[in-house]
Structure 1
Amino acid sequence: ANGSPLSLEEIEKRHIKAVLEQCDWNRTQAAKVLDISRRTLLNKINKYDL
């Protein structure tokens, strides 16, 4: 890494990916862990190309 701070979007992307991996990519379970709706999670998965 170049030492520059991560953007909020990059932090969010990494966090969502980590939670999805912990939930074996069960999107319904991951949405509950993240405390967001499943629809919001799906939108973010598409946004971040996960």
Structure 2
Amino acid sequence: MNKHIIAMLLYFAAAAFFLLYVFLDVNTILAGAILLIVAVFFSRSIKK
């Protein structure tokens, strides 16, 4: 599987968690933030 596709999926999952937090007001903001951080580090490791 292409690494860029995985990075895109990570960003999409983070965005989905933020949307869930906004609409349902559940405790997913931490999960979304962690996913976003992981996605950023992952995309930086691809560019190296």
Q: Which TM bucket (shorter chain)?
A: 0.3 to 0.5
Relative contact order (C-alpha < 8 Å, sep 6+): which is higher? Answer: 2
